[in-house]
Structure 1
Amino acid sequence: MPSNSQTVVQRLVIAFFAVTLSWQVGAKEPQEPRLPLEELRTFVEVMERIKSAYVEPIDDKTLLENAIKGMLNNLDPHSSYLDPKAFQELQESTSGEFGGLGIEVGMEDDVLKVVSPIDDTPAFRAGIEAQDFIIKIDGQPTKGMSLMDAVAKMRGKPGTSIVLTIARENRAPFDVKLKRAIIKAQSVRAQTLEQGYGLIRISQFQSNTANEVSKALRKLNQDKNNLLKGLVLDLRNNPGGLLQAAIDVTDLFIDQGLIVYTKGRLDNSEQNYFANSRTSIGDIPLVILVNSGSASASEIVAGALQDHKRGIVMGTNSFGKGSVQTILPLNNEHALKLTTALYYTPLGRSIQAEGIEPDIVVERAKISQEQQSITIKEADLVGHLNNDKSPSTTDKKNTVDAITDDYQLNQALNLLKGLNIIASKEKVR
């Protein structure tokens, strides 16, 4: 009589054969159905050895689920096997509200790495930065930990505390204590930088992001006496989100043409996405800010606007996450998150592992204003002639304080001003 585990493995072989056949039917390059029998024999032997010799009893279900997780986790950093809880959390995160710390993470060399903190979350307020490595969670090393397990450990009941041990370049590892919270990610923020110049900050791409950007554009441009002369689109530390949201946002800035296309092995993985003439902003000068925390959907937007020469990309090289993940629900409330295609910009550039290279490289820095030396001007001299023009009532403090602390944003604003000066001189000729 075969053992119980042998029966399970026999069923696994049958299931594997069925999946192999169905996958090959959908593939563009049909292959002869073939099972790796020798490898399956090895799998059966390993499973038997674990069941008989492992220090503690372990059931077939656990072994098989671990095997599935291993298959997915070793494909690439973004493919994974989702249990019902993880599947639900993924759906919550794309809807814009979930419980946790507010960090987008990935794996690099089996260590947890921060892609980006989300604006106005515990992680953001604690000073966690893109490119940080989380080497411990509550004292437990993350090396070798699966991405889904690490995310599960960081999420929890709002108000509960957690300690992350952070490794950052040029600094010794340090602990950060955070309190979990309900993360209500506001994806779009807008503000006036100076008269005629606006800023739209997108922290992540959610289902309503394009509508929020459209509203922000109308609000910034609603004063007929203060129409926009230039806009900064800030995508720094934007970890991505929904593909359709990125397409819809790009569509607000270009009239026509290809926005992005995908290529993969399955027929339905090859898709082309075009603008459909819903432009809201016309030809107003545009600067797009990116950095190493700009990933996925934000790279699609930056790459498309750059290829269409619609705006100038400024900052530092983006993250380079140019792969498409498809969520494949299973019949047991589990799901697969599987990489099925790659993104390409309109000119055919692959984003994967390359990122978007800025047109103008501007590293992150802070502006420190030199102490002004004492100077004497004409207006200081006794008996000077007055200017017959009425005194200016312009408040020179209109510039948002954030500009003086943000070198990249400051440079983007200066570039927009320069573009307008050039444009005005061209009109005079």
Structure 2
Amino acid sequence: MLNTTYSYKAHLSPAKYVTQLSFILLVGLLWLMLQSFQAIAKPSLKSLQHQQLNEILFNIHTYYVDDLKLQNSFVTQPDNLQVEALFSRLDPYSKYLDETELDAIFSSTNGRYTGLGIEVKVEEGRVYIVNTINNSPAALAGLQVNDEVIAINQQPILDKSIEEVAKLIRQSGQSAVDVAVKREKETELNFSIKRQQINLESVRGHLADTGVALISINAFNNHTLHDVAREIAKMQITNSFPLSGLIIDLRDNPGGTLQGAVEVADLFLDNGTIVSTKGRFNEANQKYQAHKGDILSGAPIAVLINENSASAAEILAAALRDNQRAVLIGETSFGKGSVQSLIPLGNGNTALKLTTARYYTPSGQSIDGKGITPDVSINQTMLSEIDQGVIIKNIQELALFSSLLDRQDKKQLTAKQLVIMQ
């Protein structure tokens, strides 16, 4: 993460923020989960005073990734409606965060949050579950991947945004949330689920008897480096020999912290650029380089991605592929190539989450709005529907590990071989 020494640090009087870095670069969709900090339909700016509005205006004018030419846009004292109109000109990832929302982001980057434990997506106005967190209230209640959420507390949610749905869930407070879903070949199902604090398991591992290992990274937070390194070390000890290959599953990984992605990439690289960021102020222009030392000593790596692999997940995938360290398998990724910074406001209890830079892959490409195209394109099902042992077996049957050094071989796989993964 980018740690700067702007005057904002003086505003961080609460000790919990002094220890959290004065300026934090975040990437990713911030889980795409139905949790409290996502319940932001519009910036809650109506009650802010002129001093706070001026501070927000200054930060946007100075640090937003695009120059909006604001110097002549406002009178001496901007009003709330003007600042709200300004937010409508920003990208969808830039938001004003109140104290509750800011606390939730810090909790999330530390691997915990309060909610139901589901990840969702919206398609044509309908909300579908793409993942349930292990041992979460939603998973224990029986919600499943591909369930369509049709109502929350008896209120239909057709054509509602994720933020509006999240707000309905949060309004339940300590009471149980009534969730109605439609499941394929079944009628409407109803669940009563209580929101709880969830400790996220960002990494899961599986070792095959062939010595090939798989790690599934669900999101990137402050503990992901430790969790990945620990999981690989454990599997190496179990294997009694160095691993013969590794599969990194990033499907449905919506991102998380920039630092988490950089640190994990560095585990597998001896040298080279991991990612670079570019913005309008000096500190937004950074280049992250790998340090000598490959935890796998050159053993081949395959990375699985899909349309829900975003931001920090895309940074890791591109870093390994562009440095000729891994082959990418799956579907074109989401394409979120912007970086958000948390800028504390006032006394540090609120903040501005502002897009301050765009990131570029080691080959110098911006994937924003385009995504990363895999080396081997395969129409995959959801991760939660595939056993990890089966994934390893299928990748080995694709013979990718024996041909990783010959990129032409990878692109000439037969249709018979590819169908194994479908």
Same fold at TM > 0.5: yes
Maintained 8 Å contact 2:214/2:392: no
CA contact (8 A) 2:213 2:392 kept: no
For the 8 Å contact 1:250–1:259, the answer to whether it is kept is yes
Two-structure CA RMSD over aligned residues (Å)? 4.0
2:336 is equivalent to residue 351 of structure 1 = no
- Choose which of 36, 53, 71 in structure 2 pairs with 1:33: 71
Residue in 2 that maps onto 1:317: 332
Aligned to 1:219: 234
Q: CA deviation at 1:278?
A: 3.6
- Once the two structures are TM-superposed, the CA of residue 118 in structure 1 deviates from its matched residue by 3.6
- Identify if the C-alpha distance between structure 1 residues 80 and 421 changes in structure 2 by more than 3 Å, giving closer, same or farther: closer
Q: Distance in 2 between matches of 1:79 and 1:109?
A: 24
Please name the residue that 1:177 is paired with. 191
Indicate if the aligned counterparts of 1:327 and 1:336 stay in contact, CA closer than 8 A. yes
Is 1:118–1:238's contact at 8 Å kept on the other side of the alignment?
A: no
Matched, 1:280 2:295: yes
Q: Which segment drifts farther, 173-182 or 349-358?
A: 173-182
**CA apart distance, 1:329:** 1.9
CA distance in 1, matches of 2:361, 2:247: 21
Of 101, 106, 114, which aligns to 1:91?
A: 106
Q: Which of residues 344, 361, 368 is equivalent to 2:377? A: 361
Residue 179 of structure 2: aligned partner:
163
Does residue 411 of structure 1 match 2:394?
yes
Report the residue type matching 1:35 in the other structure.
S
1:340 counterpart SS class = strand
Match of 1:334 in 2: 350
Q: Which has the higher contact order (CA 8 A, sep 6+)?
A: 2
Cα distance in 2 for residues equivalent to 1:133 and 1:67: 38
C-alpha displacement of 1:110: 7.5
Structure 2 residues not aligned, in runs of 5+:
1-45, 407-422
Distance apart, 1:326 and its partner CA: 1.2
For 1:200, the equivalent position in structure 2 comes to 215
Amino acid across the alignment from 2:365 = R
1:402 and 2:387 are equivalent in the alignment: yes
Shift of 1:142: 4.5
Following superposition of structure 1 onto structure 2, how do residues 103-142 of structure 1 map, counting pairs within 5 Å?
A: 103-104=118-119, 117-124=132-139, 126-129=142-145, 134=149, 136-142=151-157
Tell me by how many angstroms 1:165 deviates: 4.5
Alpha-carbon shift at residue 335 of structure 1 (Å):
1.9
Q: Which amino acid aligns with 2:217?
A: I
The alpha-carbon deviation at position 227 of structure 1 amounts to 3.1
Match of 2:317 among 296, 302, 305: 302
The structural deviation recorded for 1:347 is 0.7
1:71-96 CA distances to partner (integer Å, 9 max, x unpaired)? 43663332222222122112111111
Over 3 Å counting, the alpha-carbon distance change for 1:213 and 1:36 in structure 2 is same
TM-score relative to the length of structure 1: 0.69
Output the CA distance in 1 between the equivalents of 2:61 and 2:374: 40
User: Residue 196 and residue 409 in structure 1: after superposition, are their counterparts in 2 closer, same or farther (change >3 A)?
Assistant: closer
- Structure whose CA Rg is larger: 1
Q: What are the ranges of 5 or more consecutive residues in structure 1 without an aligned counterpart?
A: 1-7, 45-63, 367-400, 424-429
- Matching residue of 2:281: 266
Q: Amino acid of the residue matched to residue 153 of structure 2?
A: D
Per-residue CA deviation, residues 35-54 of structure 1 (Å, 9 max, x unaligned), is 356xx99x98xxxxxxxxxx
Residues in 1 aligned to 2:106 and 2:158: alpha-carbon distance in whole angstroms:
26
Shift of 1:261: 1.1
Distance across 2 between alignment mates of 1:24 and 1:421: 47
TM-score, with structure 2 as normaliser: 0.70
User: Is the Cα contact below 8 Å between 1:122 and 1:181 reproduced in 2?
Assistant: yes
SS of the residue 1:99 aligns to: strand
Looking at structure 2, the residues matched to 21 and 181 of structure 1 have their Cα atoms a distance apart, in angstroms, of 38
Cα distance in structure 2, aligned partners of 1:213 and 1:342: 26
Quote the offset at 1:234 in angstroms: 1.2
Are the aligned partners of 2:127 and 2:149 in contact in 1 as well (CA < 8 Å)?
yes
The SS at the match of 1:101 is strand
Supply the distance in 2 between the matched residues of 1:175 and 1:150 (Cα, whole angstroms). Answer: 18
- Please give the alpha-carbon distance, in whole angstroms, between the structure 1 residues aligned to 2:120 and 2:212: 33
CA distance in structure 1 between the partners assigned to 2:150 and 2:191 by the alignment:
14
In 1: Cα distance, 2:259 partner to 2:160 partner:
31
The residue type equivalent to 1:402 in the other structure is D
Deviation at 1:119, TM superposition (A): 4.1
Secondary structure in 2 aligned to 1:252? helix
8 Å contact kept, 2:337–2:366: yes
Shift, 1:192, TM fit: 0.9
**SS of match in other structure, 1:162:** strand
Number of residue pairs matched by the alignment: 353
Q: 1:283 to 1:25 in 2, by over 3 A?
A: closer
In 1: Cα distance, 2:93 partner to 2:187 partner: 26
Contact 1:112/1:135, CA 8 A, preserved across alignment:
yes
Contact 2:99 2:350 in 1 (8 A): yes
